Structure 1
Amino acid sequence: MFNLRKKSNEAEVAATKPRTGGEDTPWTNAQAAYEDRVLRVQAQIANWRMFAFISLGIAGLAVGGAIWIGAKSKFIPMVFEVDKLGQVVAVKALHGDEAVTDPQRLVYREMFDLIENLRSVTTDRQANNSRLSKGFSRLTGAAERYVKTELRKAPPNDVGANKTVQVIVRSALRLTGKSWQVDWEEHSFSLAGEEIGVARWRATVQYELNPSPDEKVFRSNPTGFTVTEMQWQEVVK
């Protein structure tokens, strides 16, 4: 009787213990599932850790690049060469020990001078002729013929007998290639100094840079700035 009870207790204990080996039991299935879940979590942690280091590296490069760009100088030193009359004849941008000529700045200045010389009017006939002479020294071909035709409609010396015209160039913009657009205002004043009105004008200009070997021409136009085509019209509001 005692032996039967002992065997029965041993069987119950054995039934409650997990079985080892290759047997398919609830215990082995639960253990496999747990190990699989742990491995997945570890893989995810490793992936997120790798992405975090990559993101940190990209952020570091971005911050370093921003600091490098911010540390660079935003100012470009320029050297302006002027003649005895104060006119700009050369412009150079300094980059270290090298000097680079910027012809566009020369053209920009020439555009201002061209309009001021051709369109300004004073009561002094000699001053008008001097300005026109400087302006026509920059014209050739179709541009010269066009300007002569336009000025015949209102000769500056005839206009100067009744009023003066002050020219204020507002902008000179490069369009395409060697074509520019120049916008200016003409402020008219009576001989008593009272302002008569303001007119806005716009011109399209095409130019060439051909320095002349002739010393006399070179002194008056060292850059060889020459306007080949030119047209202007009043801008109506």
Structure 2
Amino acid sequence: MNWLLKKKSADEDQRRTHEPLVGGRRQGENENPYLAARRTWNDQTAANKAARQMWQLLGILSLLIALAGVGGMIHIGSQSKIEPYVVEVDKLGQFVVVAPAQRANATDPRIIHASLASFISDLRLVSPDASLQRKAVLFVYSMLSPKEAAFGKANEFLNGTDESSPFKRAEKEMVSIEIDSIIPQTPDTWQVDWIETARDRQGILKDKPFRMRALVTIQTVGTTPQTTEEQLRNNPFGIYVRDFSWSKQL
């Protein structure tokens, strides 16, 4: 009985030899239409599967190459191709210097002096010219970040009450600022001294001019992809006031 149940090995089973198929059967096999049809079908199915896998692989590779190309084009397209140049002309109208324009270093003390002088002058200014007053207020806010303490302080000073609003005060008085000195106390904090003069609408002094002093803490923020064109126009050097405090000098 064992010989009936014994399974033929791969070497003994002629169906599993590696002889090439001819007409659906291998050399030495008896003709069997069912076995030949099955073998032919299996071979055809395997060939189709291999071809399909090859085309799928080629399709995936093509898609990856296309995505890489599109990503590269987007990256190149997002980069600015415009490079501004500075041209200097002498008194005779001849070109003297032609060179790429370089952004000034925001840490230059002269730039910080000018920015802080404008900030204090515009923050304390009271002008009967509503357009000039509005321009001054907008400049002040261009140097403020809503996340910093200086924003809340400036907002309270400008809009806290009707008496503090420069637009309401301009109905009765005018205030001018004369910057006296700007001295660094630390790399980020500067002392600003100025003389403040208040006059009524007829130009008569309301009181003797008095001295004021402020400590202003700043930070420099570089441009990012989120930086808008309006921010660049209003605050080109990225100097922002983080905090400030002032007092009247005796």
* 2:54 counterpart residue number: none
**Contact 1:108–1:172 (CA<8 Å) still a contact in 2?**
yes
> How does the TM-score come out when normalised to structure 2?
0.52
Distance in 1 of aligned mates of 2:236 and 2:132? 22
Distance in 2 of aligned mates of 1:233 and 1:149? 16
Q: Choose 106-115 or 216-225, whichever is displaced more.
A: 216-225
Q: Report whether the alignment pairs 1:185 with 2:195.
A: yes
Q: How many residues align?
A: 138
Say which SS state the counterpart of residue 212 (structure 1) adopts.
Answer: coil
One-letter amino acid matched to 2:108: P
1:24-103 residue pairs with structure 2 within 5 A?
101=105, 103=108
Q: Report whether the alignment pairs 1:123 with 2:118.
A: no
Q: Report whether the alignment pairs 1:148 with 2:155.
A: yes
Say which SS state the counterpart of residue 181 (structure 1) adopts.
Answer: strand
**CA positional deviation for 1:149:** 1.6
Distance in 1 of aligned mates of 2:243 and 2:166? 21
Say which SS state the counterpart of residue 202 (structure 2) adopts.
Answer: coil
1:129-168 residue pairs with structure 2 within 5 A?
129-140=134-145, 141-151=148-158, 152-153=160-161, 154-168=164-178
* 1:169 counterpart residue number: 179
Give the one of 184, 189, 210 matched to 2:221: 210
**CA positional deviation for 1:125:** 2.3
Distance in 2 of aligned mates of 1:211 and 1:224? 6
Say which SS state the counterpart of residue 121 (structure 1) adopts.
Answer: coil
* 1:95 counterpart residue number: none
Distance in 2 of aligned mates of 1:124 and 1:105? 29
**CA positional deviation for 1:196:** 1.9
Q: Report whether the alignment pairs 1:231 with 2:238.
A: no
Q: Percent identity?
A: 24
**Contact 1:114–1:135 (CA<8 Å) still a contact in 2?**
yes
Q: Report whether the alignment pairs 1:199 with 2:213.
A: no
Distance in 2 of aligned mates of 1:202 and 1:149? 19
> How does the TM-score come out when normalised to structure 1?
0.55
Distance in 2 of aligned mates of 1:118 and 1:205? 13
Distance in 1 of aligned mates of 2:122 and 2:192? 14
Distance in 1 of aligned mates of 2:248 and 2:149? 20
Distance in 1 of aligned mates of 2:241 and 2:230? 19
Distance in 2 of aligned mates of 1:233 and 1:195? 21
**CA positional deviation for 1:212:** 2.6
Q: Which is strand-richer, 1 or 2?
A: 1
* 1:106 counterpart residue number: 111
Distance in 1 of aligned mates of 2:124 and 2:153? 14
Q: Which runs of 5+ in 2 are unaligned?
A: 1-85, 87-103
**CA positional deviation for 1:193:** 1.2
CA RMSD of aligned residues (A): 1.8
**CA positional deviation for 1:123:** 1.2
Distance in 2 of aligned mates of 1:216 and 1:156? 24
Distance in 1 of aligned mates of 2:170 and 2:210? 17
Bigger Rg, which one: 1
Distance in 2 of aligned mates of 1:220 and 1:135? 10
Structure 1 outlier segments of 4+, above 4 Å: none
One-letter amino acid matched to 2:127: T
